[in-house]
A and B are shown apart, each in its own frame.
Chain A
């Protein structure tokens, strides 16, 4: 995308993982995976996160810079982020745990 002259920034709940693939601008947020902008219904909080994430488009001047945003997930607030049925890969790894190292190594079997 950057090569196509599009300036990008990434808002990530797992900035260490996102940063490892070499994104140009990175805004880390300490929210649960699946809720990068905040709780359902928290319109003002979501807007604040959006504004802060977009601000990194202007503030980051060096490729590969990570800025962790100053938002804290409130203690005691629980929002269910897991799916009702476990993801297929989780079911597979429970049945065949010896495949876990292969999954961790990102070695996809030829279908």
Chain B
């Protein structure tokens, strides 16, 4: 039951697991919800989807599934048995229920199923299989596919397709460009508290506890010093085609700054050449040699480029190709040098990922960095951080 629905969600890239499906089935069996699609939507969401950034994807998948399921009869294939049960419970009086108990629910459902099949034959698949207003205990007008709602909540005149079609969680989707809202979560992955090296410090609580356990004989406990060793170097593209992205990049930057104690940042334009600068206003007065950056920083430094990588291929591949400074060596040589020194490298690109294949320069830079280019979405950042942590 609901296996199609489950597979449909998985096909829509929602990470639902079998345990969760079983929970949902158990909840249906527990007669938690009135037989309405609205409530089923909420119940399935609360059971299956555990992250509000996936709600929007779920809304779309659910809408699709429901429309698909309604387009193709037969109705009884979609209807969980529990919905019938709940409906019967509501429509029948207590005496009827008592009589039914004797008859047994199961036999009743056999009967119901049989009748449904018979009616299907008789009515040529029309949408009034379960007649309304008759004396049959199964009948009710609400069986129209538009709502798969037999009975339905009494207060309702709610359009069945409403809740998910509103797509209220669109802003929470992790595939769209990020604001500062969730960026801290993603950037925090970079911060790795590593216990390494031989620097030991006295672990006072553990020493006291251990001494106490020893009934007063002193027992010294030492732990390696805990220190956030992650160093980050940010290289940001400014000017030119990046102007549209400056705001987003600044948000990324402002979030990043709070995360690391050792954070350096430099600017470049379009591609990195022999020098970078630290203040955009004093870019000509205050230059930093790119070679110096490579020499001064250890290989563990995480190097993050932020740029749209959109330029003429000459600017990357040709000596003297830069549009504003004379460069003896092509930008590609500098990129390779940087990527060679810092294996933990990632390029974050604010352009939508779908556009990348149409821009030659993006392809070139991606190749130079071993494919480590990620879009400026929460999901992209998460991937970038994972790649930075691995570092090869």
Are A and B part of the same complex? no
- Give me the interface of A with B, judged by CB distance under 8 Å: none
B positions within 8 Å CB-CB of A: none
